[in-house]
Structure 1
Amino acid sequence: MKNLAVAFSLLCIHLCNAQNIYLSKVEKTNDNTDKFLYKKAEATIGAEYLGEIEVQGFSNDDAAVFSLIYKKAKEIGANTFSFKPFENIDGTPQSLNPANYRIALYYTPKEKLERQKKGMLYVFASSDKDQKISINKKDYILTPRSYLTLDITPGEVYTISTKKLLGSTIKVQPKTNDENLYFQVSSLKVKSDTSGTGGLNLKSGDIIGLEKSFAEFLSLIYVQNKH
């Protein structure tokens, strides 16, 4: 009877954590072969709406969630996405709920892409508790599922440290401000993604360099820390 109760409890936990990611609407498809999946800026014009993805259920494995979203998006030829809020009864948009949200999918010609602000350093949290980090000897607190951004200056060296015993420290020196730098501070040992289709690509202990598509997805579902 005790084993049965344990099994039932595990089943309930599994059901509570179950997650569905599916194409909830397909308006049209595009046959492009773009490998990227970027967040669409509001100012972007010329984006062709293709459909929607709905995420039901919460998961801490954001890399796995993004991998599934990426595959669904590529099924209809999307290369850009944006958050599509549900509406309250009075018609006002709801804030993003990490356990249930929608993503609108688009095809945007490369020449029409309105890129996000460049010359920024993004640092994402990933643990379930506050994390203290240091950037150029200045301390910051990253709350769970949040991120911070800093303007970067070409040629300047940026030292990022996790400030933990046996933690990691990395130094980066951007040559230009034409791109953004994306890192995640992780309390877990995360395997790098080598597929080239979005995920994790650099790793230094518990500081991980992120591929742009995955980082822009995290900036959608995480909350930006004001510092």
Structure 2
Amino acid sequence: MANYGMVIDQKKCAGCAACSVACKNENNVPDGIFWSHYITETKGKFPNITYEYISTLCNHCENAPCVTACPVDPKAMYKTKDGLTLHDPDKCIGCRACESACPYGVIYFNEKEPFQRYREGDGKKLTEKVGGNVIPYYNPDRALTYDGIRRARVVEKCSFCDHRIANDEQPYCVVACPAEARIFGDLDDPNSEISKILKEKEHFVLKPEAGTKPKVFYINKFDEKDK
């Protein structure tokens, strides 16, 4: 059984946010919700300025606090055999305990029915023209393993595109990256590209002090000598 993870190369990443756009397109992610997002930080004073852009997503942690915090039994937020952290909306009670427990801020809650603008006024007319009950950019592939459009009062987050993994495909953010800054694969396979990279290169994770053992790793961090 695979144990999936991702590496993001900081020196290849151009900060173009193609990953974020691709994620929204592939997963029908509503406005205000970001399964794929980023952190930016500017340090120093002119002319000695450093700017850091770090792509973020669910870390699919080995010790996932969101799973521990989920109060229902069986869990609405759970771990799969291949290491993914996934969510079952049929079991979710909307308590948001997982959202509060996540140290990375990558779990979101649907307060209202998503895509209201496509159900009213001109948006409704457009929806009727392109598919009736389906929003204009609906991706039916997403619905293979999860609600194509998530309902109100449940949480949602990155799933590493589990529907694509099921078809032996890479997560769409990996495919869409024009700089090929993302590497996805089996952490338990010593011959996989991701395992070789992590063995050869120094790497870091976000908030290691949280003890979650995240499975999204970063390599080639910029530092003073790169200026």
Asked if TM exceeds 0.5, the reply is no
TM-score of the pair, normalised by structure 2: 0.25
Q: Which has the higher strand share?
A: 1
